[in-house]
Structure 1
Amino acid sequence: MSKEKNYVKRTQRDYSMSLKLQIVHEIERGELSTHGACKKYGVQARSTVVSWLRKFGNFD
């Protein structure tokens, strides 16, 4: 039995600004890791989350 994954190509524009900011805040508070955020919110690439951290994060 193999599960078929429905892969949907998404761009960063497919994610709302409020979702991006929520993910960044949860990671900065230590509630999620970047991999955890990908699983929880269905973001396909960890690099996408990392780019949001760079853009919207509060660290240097």
Structure 2
Amino acid sequence: MTTSSNQRPKRTQRDYTLAFKLGVVERVEKGELSYKQAQAHFGIQGRSTVLVWLRKHGRLDWSKPFQHPLMPSSKETPAEKIKRLERELADEKLRNKILNGMVDIMDNEYG
């Protein structure tokens, strides 16, 4: 069985040294490659192999799915979203009022 010169030979699990795994993890965490790009670039066969390495050897917390702090959960109904936004608006109005009061006090005391 022959392979063409531009194809990499299939690798087995035994071929991956710790240094190799750490190198792949580092490149993915730096953002040089996505985990799928790393898989293709290094000829890694398993679909989730790089993800397993990221969870095991990476510096990031992969134990729970990422939820952006500014993006509410998708389970929020429109009514809940309106209530949440109204609360946030009221909080910001209060914060603005407090800060404006502090500015007024500073103007009166220090000119």
Give the TM-score normalised by structure 2. Answer: 0.45
Structure 2's unaligned 5+ residue stretches are 62-111
For 1:30 and 1:6, how far apart are their aligned partners in 2? 24
Greater relative contact order (Cα 8 A, min sep 6): structure 1 or 2? 1
Q: Does 1:10 align with 2:12?
A: yes
Q: Which amino acid aligns with 2:43?
A: G
For 1:48 and 1:25, how far apart are their aligned partners in 2? 15
Structure 1's 6 and 23: CA in aligned 2 closer, same or farther, altered over 3 A? closer
- Contact persistence 1:34–1:46 (CA under 8 A): no
Give the TM-score normalised by structure 1. Answer: 0.78
For 2:11 and 2:39, how far apart are their aligned partners in 1? 15
Question: What percent of counterpart residues are identical?
Answer: 43
Q: How far apart are 1:8 and its partner, in Å?
A: 4.0
Structure 1's unaligned 5+ residue stretches are none
What is the match of residue 29 of structure 2? 28
Runs of 4+ in 1 over 3 A off after TM superposition: 4-9
Q: Mark the structure with the bigger radius of gyration.
A: 2
CA-to-aligned-CA distance 1:29-58 (integer Å, 9 cap, x gap) = 000011111111110023011000000000
